[in-house]
Chains A and B, each alone.
Chain A
């Protein structure tokens, strides 16, 4: 028994590492085939992100939005409901925050404005995820389908707001009016593009981890997610917990949208889905739905992204190939059966050994 437990505990980590390694090997093979100078490209891909301080900063900057959506998906994933509205929640959170920022610029102090826009982002995200959650619980409409469809509705709603309500006619690109420069999140590490949003993201990770493991709601949520029948039997409000978990997750995604918009730009410019919501799913899967591991898995994804970005800028390889690597990692990590034969052999062997020892003693 004891051995089986040890094997199971270590096996998850082992499996993720093997998945990442396999994905990397496949990526290297692809690079070697399609590149004229494979050695240089591979070097850039692996070592590039660490080669300069600025590039390392890029990893951290890339991490910021996907940490928020990663936390969002931890809640959704913990409750076992695949509400994928994080994607649209990022857009709506960013867009509504931008509207408020434009309207209130120079009317309220900057610190107050920051709090207001973050709150607006959170509320927007909560509203986004509430709709599929309610549709699922009340009408038994598949939460995954409803949320995916909603992402497009949200995209077009935000595009409409951008193009017809807040567009700055003076701008050469599709962008909103600018808000006060004071609202833009300041630089955190000089010489890089890392802004204060990084700290907000870390704070959200901490809040989520506390909520998950130190508060009764988190406990309830994990129980409901793992065994709803038990939760009902022991007297937990199953439906309310399922809905609330998704709403809280949505709040984090919405804040992520706000932070990304006011951290990187001084005007709202998104006319397509950002992809951060889906990245969040990948990160939550890698983090084994534990928010405390979100920064780590976000770092891994950001590292791969940054490497691919460098490769595409300095060589002849298109950045799309990074999607292949991510795809492989996720398929291997999410596939419960990957290496499971190996695992059961390990457990079986150790059980047989234990039995033999016992018999020897007797």
Chain B
């Protein structure tokens, strides 16, 4: 029997981004259904639509073969759809029973019946062998147990379809194994589970069917028997348009950036960047490929001074970057195109000009005495608008009125013209139109070759890393797991296997390439 069916779902966000395009998928009762795809492929949006957090433009949803209209998570819950979020939504200072029964507390004479709440929670936990103590305070629990509380929360509300958004991301291997046993038990009990994950070995072990999303489109649903990890990886990663960038071979000069044994610890105490060492030389673009969330952002933030790293060293032009002010790091020759242009790369409410001159407004040549030099600022901005073909009504227009591509052009223009000799480009073309993306890529290559700067390109877009980079690394779980001397001859399928952890290079294989 079909527990759930989503038909022809199309979701377009108000900024015009098409997150889901005509996606149809269904989940049988008593199965674990994997939903896989790269970041940005539309998995989360699709699940938000199912859980009533987003409204689709087109399409319909059937629960137990009845057409339903899910307008809010409350309605989703009442229809028996539960969601276990990747980031726990628990109140740490309350007990397990209080968290689980929150909002549906058992009552006795108008008062909360705490004893009953504990009893209900304990029964449910024992039924599925969760091993929870209903009276324990959530803040005292391990991450693995917290996740069980989350699952319990959904089950006690009568969830028959359970969405698990990357449930193993925060778990240790032992906890993962335990979780899988319990998920299988749920399946035997007739629950349907939607399992979102990047970890293909887990998908292979646990799931009955796999639906693959790519760039907002559905790439088919396949029974697990027909697949192996390499096949899934090909379906997920793929390579749609072949884009070619003409460039001669690099003639790398002296090293500009040297990263040695770098370690960054994240808020959960795990090594987000785990003993990474590499160097970037004059005149070359070094690419880092990888599924997002494998330490690329931490690496970029640590190098650019946005976060303090925990050990190791980062040297820019021979100078240790750790402990330096960001202003001084920039002065020492670094430019950064940040991953998130709207929250990091610009100030939405300020004008194009104010955004364009943000790194150089107080340079002596751009001031007139103690006052800002408006004329000079206009000149600088005008030059950028011309060179980068930024389309805006005027420099005084607030930058948020520009299209995504044009905002990115302002950011790129500022960072490329700052006079730096090292540039970090973190997802430089995400969400921008094809023309702008091409221009940014070509510019990066040209700047690197002609001006002898060193570039670090971090991107989830495989076309981009393969075409733009000279050397290419793959990052997974905070480590560099593969290194290639020439990016444009790397085989995509092979790359996908390294990204998804099917293969890993040994230190000897990467010798001399870092």
Q: A and B from one assembly?
A: yes
**For residue A222, which residues in chain B have a CB less than 8 angstroms away from its CB?**
350, 354
In the bound complex, do residue B347 and residue A4 qualify as a contact, i.e. CB atoms below 8 Å apart?
A: no
The reply on B398 being an interface residue by CB < 8 A is: yes
Question: In chain B, residues 184-241, which have Cβ atoms closer than 8 Å to a Cβ of chain A?
Answer: none
Binds A, one of B37-45, B121-129, B355-363, B440-448: B355-363
How far is the CB of B99 from the nearest CB of chain A, in Å? 27
Known A-B contacts A219-B361, A223-B350, A235-B327; A230 and B397 likewise in contact (beta carbons under 8 Å): no
The reply on A172 being an interface residue by CB < 8 A is: no
**For residue B398, which residues in chain A have a CB less than 8 angstroms away from its CB?**
5
Known A-B contacts A1-B401, A5-B398; A232 and B346 likewise in contact (beta carbons under 8 Å): no
The reply on B86 being an interface residue by CB < 8 A is: no
Most chain A beta carbons < 10 A, residue from B338, B349, B354, B358:
B358
Render B345-385 as a binary contact track against A, CB cut-off 8 A, 1 for contact. Answer: 11111100010001101100001001110000000000000
The reply on A226 being an interface residue by CB < 8 A is: yes
Render A205-223 as a binary contact track against B, CB cut-off 8 A, 1 for contact. Answer: 0000010001110011011
Query: In the assembly, what is the distance between CA of A230 and CA of B359, in Å?
Result: 11
Query: In the assembly, what is the distance between CA of A216 and CA of B367, in Å?
Result: 9
> Considering only CB atoms, which chain A residue lies closest to B329 in the complex?
A235
Known A-B contacts A215-B372, A216-B361, A234-B359; A227 and B347 likewise in contact (beta carbons under 8 Å): yes
In the bound complex, do residue B329 and residue A227 qualify as a contact, i.e. CB atoms below 8 Å apart?
A: no
CB contact between B306 and one of A1, A2, A232 (< 8 Å): that residue:
A232
Render B328-354 as a binary contact track against A, CB cut-off 8 A, 1 for contact. Answer: 111000001010000111111110001
In the bound complex, do residue A226 and residue B347 qualify as a contact, i.e. CB atoms below 8 Å apart?
A: yes
Query: In the assembly, what is the distance between CA of A130 and CA of B326, in Å?
Result: 25
Query: In the assembly, what is the distance between CA of A301 and CA of B401, in Å?
Result: 34
The reply on B85 being an interface residue by CB < 8 A is: no
How far is the CB of A117 from the nearest CB of chain B, in Å? 27
Known A-B contacts A1-B401, A235-B325, A235-B327; A230 and B346 likewise in contact (beta carbons under 8 Å): yes
Known A-B contacts A226-B350, A227-B347; A235 and B372 likewise in contact (beta carbons under 8 Å): no
How far is the CB of B203 from the nearest CB of chain A, in Å? 35
How far is the CB of B372 from the nearest CB of chain A, in Å? 6
**For residue A235, which residues in chain B have a CB less than 8 angstroms away from its CB?**
325-330, 359
The reply on A111 being an interface residue by CB < 8 A is: no
Query: In the assembly, what is the distance between CA of A46 and CA of B326, in Å?
Result: 56
How far is the CB of B354 from the nearest CB of chain A, in Å? 7
The reply on A233 being an interface residue by CB < 8 A is: yes
**For residue A219, which residues in chain B have a CB less than 8 angstroms away from its CB?**
354, 361, 372
Query: In the assembly, what is the distance between CA of A237 and CA of B326, in Å?
Result: 9
How far is the CB of A332 from the nearest CB of chain B, in Å? 21
The reply on A199 being an interface residue by CB < 8 A is: no
In the bound complex, do residue B372 and residue A233 qualify as a contact, i.e. CB atoms below 8 Å apart?
A: no
CB contact between A232 and one of B326, B347, B401 (< 8 Å): that residue:
B326
In the bound complex, do residue B358 and residue A223 qualify as a contact, i.e. CB atoms below 8 Å apart?
A: yes
Query: In the assembly, what is the distance between CA of A232 and CA of B359, in Å?
Result: 11
CB contact between A227 and one of B348, B359, B372, B402 (< 8 Å): that residue:
B348
Known A-B contacts A4-B401, A5-B398, A234-B359; A226 and B329 likewise in contact (beta carbons under 8 Å): no
> Considering only CB atoms, which chain B residue lies closest to A5 in the complex?
B401
The reply on B115 being an interface residue by CB < 8 A is: no
Question: In chain A, residues 231-255, which have Cβ atoms closer than 8 Å to a Cβ of chain B?
Answer: 232-237
Query: In the assembly, what is the distance between CA of A219 and CA of B403, in Å?
Result: 24
Known A-B contacts A2-B393, A5-B397, A235-B329; A230 and B361 likewise in contact (beta carbons under 8 Å): no
**For residue B403, which residues in chain A have a CB less than 8 angstroms away from its CB?**
1
How far is the CB of A5 from the nearest CB of chain B, in Å? 5
**For residue B372, which residues in chain A have a CB less than 8 angstroms away from its CB?**
214-216, 219
How far is the CB of A231 from the nearest CB of chain B, in Å? 8
**For residue B345, which residues in chain A have a CB less than 8 angstroms away from its CB?**
230, 233
**For residue B401, which residues in chain A have a CB less than 8 angstroms away from its CB?**
1-2, 4-5
In the bound complex, do residue A233 and residue B326 qualify as a contact, i.e. CB atoms below 8 Å apart?
A: yes
In the bound complex, do residue B338 and residue A233 qualify as a contact, i.e. CB atoms below 8 Å apart?
A: yes
How far is the CB of B400 from the nearest CB of chain A, in Å? 9
Question: In chain A, residues 1-34, which have Cβ atoms closer than 8 Å to a Cβ of chain B?
Answer: 1-2, 4-5
**For residue B346, which residues in chain A have a CB less than 8 angstroms away from its CB?**
227, 230
CB contact between B327 and one of A214, A226, A236 (< 8 Å): that residue:
A236
> Considering only CB atoms, which chain B residue lies closest to A233 in the complex?
B344
CB contact between A234 and one of B343, B358, B371, B397 (< 8 Å): that residue:
B358
Most chain A beta carbons < 10 A, residue from B327, B346, B347, B372:
B347
**For residue A216, which residues in chain B have a CB less than 8 angstroms away from its CB?**
361-362, 367, 372
The reply on A135 being an interface residue by CB < 8 A is: no
The reply on A229 being an interface residue by CB < 8 A is: yes
> Considering only CB atoms, which chain B residue lies closest to A227 in the complex?
B347
How far is the CB of B55 from the nearest CB of chain A, in Å? 16
How far is the CB of B84 from the nearest CB of chain A, in Å? 30
How far is the CB of A3 from the nearest CB of chain B, in Å? 10
Query: In the assembly, what is the distance between CA of A335 and CA of B369, in Å?
Result: 40
> Considering only CB atoms, which chain B residue lies closest to A218 in the complex?
B372
Query: In the assembly, what is the distance between CA of A219 and CA of B377, in Å?
Result: 13
How far is the CB of B334 from the nearest CB of chain A, in Å? 10
5 other contacts beyond A5-B393, A226-B349, A235-B327, with CB at 8 A cut-off? A5-B398, A216-B362, A227-B343, A233-B345, A237-B327
A-B contact pairs, 14 of them (CB 8 A): A1-B402, A5-B393, A5-B398, A214-B371, A222-B350, A222-B354, A223-B354, A226-B347, A226-B350, A227-B346, A230-B346, A233-B306, A233-B344, A237-B327
Listed in ascending order, the chain A residues whose CB lies under 8 Å from chain B are 1-2, 4-5, 210, 214-216, 219-220, 222-223, 226-227, 229-230, 232-237
The 7 nearest A-B residue pairs measured at CB: A235-B327, A235-B326, A216-B362, A227-B347, A234-B358, A226-B347, A5-B401
